[in-house]
């Protein structure tokens, strides 16, 4: 099958059985790959009601048809599972070199099943696949283990690992790869930890069959040239995502003190230029990337090397916990990487805990004597360690803000910043309806990567609650995740503005199948609807209420920044959902209608379930 | 005078011009106001190749580049 590795690798950790099966062409046709494969296998293979941490849950790791080919940024790998954080659908992607290596070994997906009786790592060297003892790696940090496995196996192996947080079943543990890149959200690392799978090591040397190599060479080269010709190239390579920090503060989109404010009083210590001058030592790109946005940094203050901080970490560990020194954020970033914690959820959890402490809901008795304060890096460092090891208050914080607010009561739910149980990423949206709707309806919880619509709010008017904003959110929810089906990075389009029209001919040159952009968007819509049906299936009573944002956004005005005094109102939130459901062909409770499922070719899959 | 390079959609606010000369001695925010470019649409300001805040003052001979943030689409 052109464009694909050709095989699915199935690994049962309970029995130790390893099998290889052909990649089903009908699944490739309807779901493309990456997160499309992820939701197909999750929906059809993991039984309804499975315990996310039990043997029935599966971790589905998938490349896409563009992965490992001559396409800009063709290095994205998807991890799909039932989320231990939310109880619903989780899909997290990582860049680096893993996805290309997996395809060169001849596999499109790895489906990890069961629970190993002892710590193991999965060794893949082309056709040679083994489960190897990882007892000596258990308890060690992610970067430490990646370094160790490369020493043992060779630099050519690509490694994905979990840290102590994953082992200790912290609900928002991540998977780390390429020395500081993460499949971060939803507890994909927690599932690896529950399965006692410490790491995956992959090396491959095979070819990927390409339908029309000369055409790919021509079209791929053209796409690379378009990236480098972009007017934004210079800035994005110099700063990466850290270039957004100044703008985010200037427009009041920076989450500060648990999303109470939209800007820091002084953000100069976190700006992209400050970071570049003080700590960045080199640029770092993923497989096939023409515009390396990764920044590899060294903090003299803490003597650590770390990739980043990315904007999201600066926003949630920096702004949201009120840390204002990039080196403090860099060290917290390094701790998150080594411990294997999602820095977005962790920043939210710590900010929530500080606010609870400030309000007297948590006390020194609860925290083991630690005084939780805004802007105190030592508090952040201490809590990250406690969370990862589930020590003292960390055991509670390891469950995420939704659980915490239920446990603590006292109206803390109003400022537990999450949707569907997933903590919010780095865009304050009291005065950005399209962005708030993006968070409300994102298929994993409050994450920005499916739809980053805040710039649309700024372009057309922040106060407006209009149908075009809903259209924009739905459009973005199909375009951006499509890249996660294709197994490629979206940033060449998002940041460098290369023409989306470049992709269908490239995909055709790779697979030999002629698909229009509209065909691809339909596939993405199919995937979106199946992820929604997964929530419907797994969560009893799932519906409209699960799309509601935290009350802070419609009850408490912004306290500081350009949007000071602004907030959403409840009626507008309901209007947004009404419009969104109608445009999607869902009922008023947010459930896809039978007609919509039929239109997308999902009736049989949804009917059969698992 | 200082040179201001206006990228992509931002050029719509200045009659499609890609490069403009302005007088120095003012903040970038003031220059944007003078040109009628909404500051919130300017994602990254490069001054002589380095990012600055919009409160930054530019001088004669400076080169400024204004890059919009779109989150996808044409610059």
Which pLDDT tens digit goes with each residue over A113-155?
A: 999 999 999 999 999 999 999 999 999 999 999 999 999 999 9
B73 within domain boundaries: no
Furthest C-alpha separation in chain A: 68
A131-140 as b/e: b if 16+ CB within 10 A: bbebeebbeb
Pairs of CB atoms within 8 A across A/B: 78
Among B39, B50, B67, the residue with its CB nearest the CB of A231 is B67
B53 within domain boundaries: yes
Bridge partners for B51 per DSSP: B46
Cβ neighbours for A294, distance < 8 A, ≥ 6 positions apart = A95, A180, A181, A240, A283, A284, A285, A286, A307, A308
Bridge partners for B3 per DSSP: B21, B63
B61 within domain boundaries: yes
Residues of B within 8 A of A243 (CB-CB) are 43-44, 51
Residues of A within 8 A of B43 (CB-CB) are 243-244, 247, 455
Class of the domain covering A429-497+516-608: mainly alpha
Among B40, B63, B75, the residue to mutate for chain A (most A Cβ within 10 A):
B40
Average pLDDT over residues A572-577: 98
- pLDDT grade, residue A372 (50/70/90)? very high
Is the pLDDT reported for residue B73 higher than 80?
Answer: no
Return d(Cα A504, Cα A374) in angstroms, integer. Answer: 48
Among A226, A227, A235, the residue to mutate for chain B (most B Cβ within 10 A):
A235
Domain tally, chain B: 1
HSE-CB at A520 with a 13 A cutoff on CA atoms is 26
Start-to-end C-alpha separation, chain A: 27
B18 within domain boundaries: yes
Supply φ then ψ for residue A6, to 5 degrees: 105, -15
B45 within domain boundaries: yes
Is the pLDDT reported for residue B75 higher than 80?
Answer: no
User: Is it true that the peptide bond before A309 is cis, omega within 30 degrees of 0?
Assistant: yes
- pLDDT grade, residue A609 (50/70/90)? low
Average pLDDT over residues A263-285: 96
Give yes or no on whether A7-203 and A429-497+516-608 have one common fold. Answer: no
Among A247, A276, A479, the residue with its CB nearest the CB of B43 is A247
Nearest to residue A95, comparing CAs of A69, A71, A77?
A: A77
Please indicate whether, in this complex, the C-beta atoms of A234 and B74 are within 8 angstroms of each other: no
Q: Are B25 and B59 in contact (CB under 8 A)?
A: yes
Furthest C-alpha separation in chain B: 34
List the single residue in B with minimal CA-CA distance to A238. Answer: B50
Chain B contacts in chain A segment 206-235 (CB below 8 A): 230-232, 234-235
Bridge partners for A298 per DSSP: A305
Does any CB of chain B come closer than 8 Å to the CB of residue A454?
yes
Sign of CA dihedral A447, A451, A453, A455: positive
B46 Cα to chain A: minimum distance (Å): 8
Residue ranges making up the domain that contains B6: 2-68
Q: Are A552 and A597 in contact (CB under 8 A)?
A: no
Q: Which residue has the tokens 């689409």?
A: B73
Residues of A within 8 A of B41 (CB-CB) are 455, 458-459
Residues of A within 8 A of B49 (CB-CB) are 234, 238
Give me the torsion for CA of A491, A494, A496, A497, rounded to 10°.
140
Among A239, A246, A459, the residue with its CB nearest the CB of B41 is A459
Cβ neighbours for A194, distance < 8 A, ≥ 6 positions apart = A52, A53, A54, A57, A84, A115, A169
The reply to whether ipTM tops 0.90 is: yes
Give A413-439 pLDDT, tens digit per residue. 999 999 999 999 999 999 999 999 999
Residue A48's CB is within 10 A of a number of other CB atoms, namely 11
Is the pLDDT reported for residue A406 higher than 80?
Answer: yes
- The length of chain B in residues reads 75
Residues of A within 8 A of B42 (CB-CB) are 247
- pLDDT grade, residue A610 (50/70/90)? low
The full set of domain ranges for chain A reads: 7-203, 232-422, 429-497+516-608
B10 within domain boundaries: yes
HSE-CB at A595 with a 13 A cutoff on CA atoms is 5
**A262-to-A28, A335, B45 alpha-carbon distances in Å:** 43, 26, 20
A101-124 as b/e: b if 16+ CB within 10 A: bbbbbbbbbbbbbbbbeebbbbbb
Among A235, A251, A479, the residue with its CB nearest the CB of B72 is A479
Can you give the CATH number for the domain in which B36 is found?
A: 3.10.20.30
Return d(Cα A451, Cα A585) in angstroms, integer. Answer: 19
B74 within domain boundaries: no
Is the pLDDT reported for residue A453 higher than 90?
Answer: yes
What is chain A's mean pLDDT, rounded? 97
Return d(Cα A123, Cα A153) in angstroms, integer. Answer: 9
Q: Which token pair is A79?
A: 């991890």
Among A235, A272, A499, the residue with its CB nearest the CB of B67 is A235
Q: Which token pair is A146?
A: 């990646």
Residues of B within 8 A of A311 (CB-CB) are none
Does any CB of chain B come closer than 8 Å to the CB of residue A273?
yes
> How large is the angle between the packed helices A326-339 and A377-389, nearest 10 degrees?
0
Q: Which residue has the tokens 């499509």?
A: A482
A179 Cα to chain B: minimum distance (Å): 27
Q: The domain at A232-422 falls in which architecture?
A: Orthogonal Bundle (1.10)
Q: Which CATH number fits domain A7-203: 3.60.110.10, 3.30.420.40, 3.60.9.10, 1.10.10.10?
A: 3.60.9.10
B54 Cα to chain A: minimum distance (Å): 8
B75 within domain boundaries: no
Q: Which token pair is B23?
A: 């007088």
Q: What is the pLDDT of residue B74?
A: 79
Which range has the worst mean pLDDT, A218-227, A469-478, A528-537, B1-10?
Answer: B1-10
Among A231, A243, A490, the residue with its CB nearest the CB of B51 is A243
| 3-state SS class at A110 | strand
Chain B contacts in chain A segment 240-269 (CB below 8 A): 243-244, 246-247, 250-251, 268
Burial class (CB in 10 A: 0-12, 13-18, 19+), A357: buried
Is the pLDDT reported for residue A48 higher than 80?
Answer: yes
Burial class (CB in 10 A: 0-12, 13-18, 19+), B21: exposed
Please indicate whether, in this complex, the C-beta atoms of A250 and B46 are within 8 angstroms of each other: no
Residues of A within 8 A of B10 (CB-CB) are none
Residue A389's CB is within 10 A of a number of other CB atoms, namely 18
- Write out the H or E segment, with its range, that includes residue A203: strand A197-203
Cβ neighbours for A391, distance < 8 A, ≥ 6 positions apart = A385
Q: Are A241 and A275 in contact (CB under 8 A)?
A: no
Nearest to residue A531, comparing CAs of A470, A476, A481, A587?
A: A481
Does any CB of chain B come closer than 8 Å to the CB of residue A480?
yes
Q: What is the pLDDT of residue A134?
A: 98
Return d(Cα A521, Cα A169) in angstroms, integer. Answer: 36
């Amino acid at each position: 099958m052109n464009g694909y590795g050709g095989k699915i690798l199935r690994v049962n950790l309970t029995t130790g059985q390893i099998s290889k099966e052909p990649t089903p062409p009908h699944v490739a046709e309807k779901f493309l790959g990456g997160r499309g494969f992820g939701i197909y296998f999750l929906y059809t293979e993991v039984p309804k009601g499975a315990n996310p941490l039990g043997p029935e849950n599966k971790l589905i790791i998938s490349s896409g048809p563009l992965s490992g080919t001559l396409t800009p940024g063709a290095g994205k790998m998807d991890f799909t599972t039932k989320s231990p954080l939310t109880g619903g659908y989780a899909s997290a992607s990582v860049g680096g070199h893993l996805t290309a290596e997996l395809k060169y070994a001849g596999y499109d997906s790895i489906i990890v099943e069961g629970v190993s009786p002892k710590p193991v790592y999965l060794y893949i060297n082309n056709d040679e696949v083994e489960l190897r003892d990882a007892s000596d790696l258990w308890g060690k940090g992610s970067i430490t283990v990646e370094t160790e496995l490369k020493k043992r196996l060779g630099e050519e192996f690509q490694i994905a690992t979990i840290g102590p947080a994953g082992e200790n079943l912290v609900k928002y543990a991540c998977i780390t790869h390429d020395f500081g890149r993460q499949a971060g959200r939803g507890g994909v690392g927690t599932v690896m930890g529950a399965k006692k799978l410490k790491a995956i090591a992959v090396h491959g040397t095979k070819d990927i069959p390409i339908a029309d190599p000369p055409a790919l060479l021509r079209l791929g080269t053209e796409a690379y040239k378009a990236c480098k010709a972009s007017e934004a190239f210079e800035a994005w390579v110099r700063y990466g995502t850290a270039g957004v920090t100044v703008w985010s503060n200037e427009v009041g989109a920076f989450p500060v003190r648990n999303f109470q404010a939209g800007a820091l009083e002084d953000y100069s210590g976190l700006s992209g230029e400050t970071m570049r001058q003080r700590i960045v030592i080199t640029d770092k790109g993923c497989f096939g990337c023409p515009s390396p946005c990764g920044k590899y940094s060294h903090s003299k203050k803490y003597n650590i090397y770390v990739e980043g901080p990315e904007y999201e970490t600066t926003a949630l560990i920096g702004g949201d916990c009120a840390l204002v020194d990039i080196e403090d954020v860099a060290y917290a970033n390094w701790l998150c990487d080594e411990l294997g914690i999602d820095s977005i959820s962790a920043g939210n959890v710590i900010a929530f805990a500080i606010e609870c402490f400030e309000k007297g809901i948590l006390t020194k008795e609860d925290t083991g004597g630690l005084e939780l304060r805004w802007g105190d890096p030592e508090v952040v460092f201490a809590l990250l360690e406690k969370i990862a090891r589930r020590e003292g208050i960390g055991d509670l914080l390891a469950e995420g803000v939704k659980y915490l607010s239920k446990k603590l009561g006292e109206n803390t739910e109003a400022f537990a910043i999450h949707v569907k149980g997933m903590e919010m990423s780095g865009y304050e949206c009291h005065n950005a309806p399209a962005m708030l709707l993006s968070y409300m309806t994102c298929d994993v919880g409050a994450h920005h990567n499916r739809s980053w619509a805040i710039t649309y709010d700024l372009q057309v008017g922040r106060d407006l609650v209009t149908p075009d904003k809903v259209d924009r959110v739905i459009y973005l929810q199909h375009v951006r995740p499509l890249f996660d089906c294709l197994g490629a990075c979206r940033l060449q389009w998002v940041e460098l503005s290369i023409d989306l029209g470049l992709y269908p001919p490239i995909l055709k040159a790779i697979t030999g199948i002629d698909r229009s952009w509209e065909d691809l968007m339909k596939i993405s819509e199919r995937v979106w609807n199946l992820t929604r049906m997964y929530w419907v299936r797994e969560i009893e009573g799932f519906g409209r209420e699960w799309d509601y944002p935290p009350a802070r956004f419609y009850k408490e005005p912004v306290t500081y920044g350009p949007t000071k005094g602004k907030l959403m109102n409840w009626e507008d939130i309901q209007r947004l959902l009404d419009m969104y459901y109608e445009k999607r062909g869902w009922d008023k409770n947010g459930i896809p209608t039978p007609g919509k499922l039929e239109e997308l070719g999902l009736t049989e899959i949804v009917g059969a379930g698992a | 005078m200082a040179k201001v390079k206006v990228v992509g959609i931002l050029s719509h606010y200045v009659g499609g011009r890609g490069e403009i000369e302005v007088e120095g001695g003012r903040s970038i925010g003031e220059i944007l106001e003078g040109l009628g470019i909404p500051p919130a649409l300017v994602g990254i300001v490069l001054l002589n190749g380095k990012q600055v805040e919009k409160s930054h003052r530019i001088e004669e001979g400076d080169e400024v580049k204004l890059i919009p943030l779109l989150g996808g689409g044409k610059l």
